Amino acid sequence: EKGTYPHFMLKEIDEQPLVMRKIIQAYQNEDGNLEIDSDIKQAMGATDRIYIIACGTSYHAGLVGKQLIEKLAKIPVEVHLASEFGYNMPLLSAKPIFIFISQSGETADSRAVLVKVKEMGHCAITITNVPGSTLSREADYTMLLHAGPEIAVASTKAYTAQVAVLAILASDAGAATGAKAELDVVKELGIVASAMETLCNSKEEFEKIATEYLAVAFDCFFIGRSVDYYVGLEGALKLKEISYIQAEGFAGGELKHGTIALIERHTPVIALATQFGVNGAIRANVREVAARGASTCIISMKGLETEGDRFVLPAVHELLTPLVSVIPLQLISYYAALHRGCDVDKPRNLAKSVTVE
């Protein structure tokens, strides 16, 4: 039930800090460490390449997951859209494992790939919010999201739950592959949960940004580099899905290879700057679009901020920034859609779970 909330989407955005804490509880062992199923760990230790398969928002979580697994477990990862993979399968490695990410566990495009890879005899893990769902039943192993039912068509808390579960998987798999432990996940996810609370208490700020930048906008660009680029893709999907504003996520450095031609006076460009190594580079990209008249909005992170940034996120571990940087984008999309009179929870032409290929 929505309770006092006007929309499920807003309620589900607000639930994210609690979901982080539930995930910590669910994966914590007696020693207080986060642990994955020993069979999954063994499979991760034996594979030479992971193939992540997903659609939409779950695909965007998969892109972040690639980064986490490669950095923490040192296993190469490819991320594929289910609807593409099924028809144009890449050359597989000798010992692949497949990770299916799906909130509903019912997405037909993902299921079609799962059926195919099981026929080929490969190991499959499903990360889903729904125990007993088709993708969970048909895979060898399941990791649950513990996010509680997600009702709004626009996925919010499932995305952050997916990223958190992928962080746990990556970090514990690192023990199986002998990678050096780099992330104290219990501690860092705790910090993330508090940062999420701060953001959920800053709604007026994001409502103001939505009004200022998107009230009359026809289009909007989200730019970032490294993992901020992946979060930008998710921000763009959220905005187009519920507000019907044409939105695109771009890698900052790629703009000059074509897309910058679209920048006009007042084109909104929302930039994420949460990564130390590319902080200078993304800011240079912001200057490039600002010089062509764009209305730029920089969302940065404590420690990396510069005067003029529109919002500074509380600092979290560099590998976990998507868990917090996505929240402003979810809220900006929510308010943009609300102000335009859109049906926030049930956008046109869309279903919560896409059970046809």
From residue 305, alpha-carbon distances to 251, 292, 313, 331, 332 in Å are 20, 23, 9, 21, 20
Residue 297 CB, shortest distance to ligand M6R, in Å, is 21
- Greatest Cα-to-Cα distance within the chain, rounded to the nearest angstrom: 58
Asked if 333 interacts with ligand M6R (CB under 6 A), we say no
Q: Does 126 bind ligand M6R (CB under 6 A)?
A: no
Q: Which residue has the tokens 């499959």?
A: 124
241 contacts ligand M6R (rule: CB under 6 A) = yes
Contacts of 75 (CB under 8 A, 6+ apart): 44, 47, 48, 49, 50, 69, 173, 177
DSSP 166: H
Q: Which is nearer to ligand M6R, 107 or 142 (CB)?
A: 107
Does residue 57 bind ligand M6R (CB under 6 A)?
yes
The window from 56-64, 70-78, 187-195, 219-227 that contacts ligand M6R (CB under 6 A) reads: 56-64
Residue of the chain from 143, 153, 209, 220 that contacts ligand M6R (CB under 6 A): 153
- Please choose, out of 10-18, 100-108, 140-148, 331-339, the segment that lies near ligand M6R by the rule CB under 6 A: 100-108
Q: Is 56 in the site for ligand M6R (CB under 6 A)?
A: yes
Catalytic residue, chosen from 71, 74, 203, 352, is 352
Tell me the number of residues near ligand M6R by CB under 6 A.
16
How long, in residues, is the chain?
Answer: 357
DSSP 8-state assignment for residue 353 = S
Which token pair is 158? 């499932």
State the Cα–Cα distance between residues 121 and 123, nearest whole angstrom.
7
How far is C-alpha 331 from the chain's CA centre? 14
Is residue 58 near ligand M6R by the rule CB under 6 A?
yes
Q: How far is the CB of 57 from ligand M6R (least distance, A)?
A: 3
CB of 334 to ligand M6R, least distance (A): 12
Segment interacting with ligand M6R, rule: CB under 6 A, options 37-45, 54-62, 64-72, 333-341: 54-62
Closest CA to 31 of 169, 186, 207: 186
Question: Least distance to ligand M6R from the beta carbon of 329, Å?
Answer: 12
Residue 345: CB minimum distance to ligand M6R, A: 11
The binder of ligand M6R chosen from 47, 103, 136, 243 (CB under 6 A): 103
CB 155 within 8 A of CB 235: no
Nearest to 175 by CA among 61, 34, 62, 64: 34
Residue 352 annotated as catalytic:
yes
Question: Would you tell me how many other CB atoms lie within 10 Å of the CB of residue 257?
Answer: 9
Residue ranges binding ligand M6R (CB under 6 A): 55-58, 102-104, 107, 110, 153-155, 237, 241, 353-354
